[in-house]
Amino acid sequence: MIAPAFLTRIFAVAQKELRQMSRDRLTLGMIVGLPVLQMMIFGYGINFDVRHIRAGVVDLAQTSASRALVSDLQATQVLTIVARPATAAELTRLVAEGRISVGVYLPPDFERRVQAWPDRPVGQLLVDGTKPGLEGAVRALASMPVPARKGLAQLPTPTLEVNTQYNPERRTAVQIIPPLIGVILSMTMVLFTATALVRERERGNLELLIMTPLRPVELMIGKLAPYVGVGLIQVTVILVVGTLLFDVPVNGRLIDLYLGALLFIGATLGLGLLISTLASTQFQAMQLAFFTLLPSILLSGFAFPFDGMPPVVQGLAQLLPLTHFVDIVRGIVLRGSTLGMMIIPAAKLGVFLVAAVLLAALRFRKRLG
């Protein structure tokens, strides 16, 4: 008689939990949505076989042999030619701005170099060394045969000289530490603010706020303001530790970096507030925050080559603020770019910031109604 009663009580509690879970539509959605999201991210987003790297070509020879070499490089599908600047200086500028990741330079004396090969390479590959995974994929192209001399045996001299820009020693810390600023800010800022309105509601303070003359937008901005200083302190700590312990250079201006960080902090705080208006409990807010953090870290190009992701996944990554901040921080800290040179990702962050705060304000007003 004891065992059946024991099992009956356990069954009653389990039935109660299932009934509560069935009423929580957000949790039910996470049960199915989280595994599907993880499968898509790990299956499509993480790809070490890098293809379709954005590249620019400067062909100063303009001969049939030079055009054949460019065609062979593109036929490998490792490179996708998206720009054809007129000079080597413009090619270098496109790499510094992050618009291309690889530059192919064929000099005016290309034909003479072909005839003299293998005494010297016939051209040069400029690789953005700030991004993980690119240098190894591009280096495999350096030994491809010259079209005009394909019959020669493979020789130690490469066809194209690989010039790794901004990280010639190919140190992983240089590639990882600067964008780690964005990852840490994403974790802290989104989690801090995701529970902001929910915490006020659970403590009974939201009713007091409603009685004040505060407008929804004013309330949102007031919630964001204290965390901006926290985020800037974290940026400073990461920069100091990265410089002292990992010898990461800061080649750009600090004012540009902090302005870009301000945009990103505002965007992530806005995302956290939007999550806060969608969740009913702090547990739901934490669930939604985690739901956005995982794609941000894996799809932003922080640790895995962004160019190796399928176009659909790259489009999804464009909706994440960390994707654009990774471009900004690598450009300013490592490539010495100015914030003006990174205007495209900066503008995208600004649009995300405005949209997130406005949506959060509209959601808050809707809840009050």
Give the model confidence (pLDDT) of 283-323 as tens digits: 778 878 888 888 888 889 888 888 878 888 888 889 999 99
Q: Is residue 159 a contact partner of residue 183, using CB atoms and an 8 Å limit?
A: no
Look at residues 117, 136, 165 and tell me which one is the last residue of a structural domain: 165
Do 281 and 362 lie in one domain? The reply is: yes
Give the percent of the chain with pLDDT over 90. Answer: 41
| pLDDT digits 0-9 by tens, 322-338 | 999 999 999 999 999 99
Q: Tell me the mean pLDDT in the region 338-367.
A: 86
CATH of the domain at 119: 3.40.1710
Residue at a domain's end among 165, 195, 220: 165
| Encoded amino acid at 113, one letter | R
Residues whose CB is less than 8 angstroms from the CB of residue 93 and which lie 6 or more positions away in sequence, other chains included: 85
Contact between 112 and 60 under an 8 Å Cβ cutoff? The reply is: no
In degrees, rounded to 5, the angle at the alpha carbon of residue 328 between the alpha carbons of residues 327 and 331 is: 85
- For the chain, the maximum distance between any two Cα atoms, rounded to a whole number of angstroms, is 97
Regarding whether 237 and 161 lie in a shared domain, the answer is no
Residue 7 maps to a domain: no
Domain end among 165, 198, 223: 165
DSSP 60: S
Mean model confidence pLDDT for the chain: 84
Pairing of strands 123-128, 102-106: antiparallel
Give the Cα separation of 65 and 59 in Å (integer). Answer: 11
- Whether residue 53 has pLDDT greater than 70: yes
* 312 and 245 together in one domain: yes
Indicate if 281 and 243 belong to the same structural domain: yes
Residue 366 CA to its chain's centroid (Å): 32
Is residue 262 in some structural domain? Answer: yes
Q: Are 285 and 275 in contact (CB under 8 A)?
A: yes
Number of folded domains in the chain? 2
Element holding 55 (H helix, E strand): strand 53-59
What global pTM score does this model have? 0.83
Domain ranges, residue 297 = 172-368
In a domain, 176, yes or no: yes
195 φ, ψ (degrees, to nearest 5): -100, 5
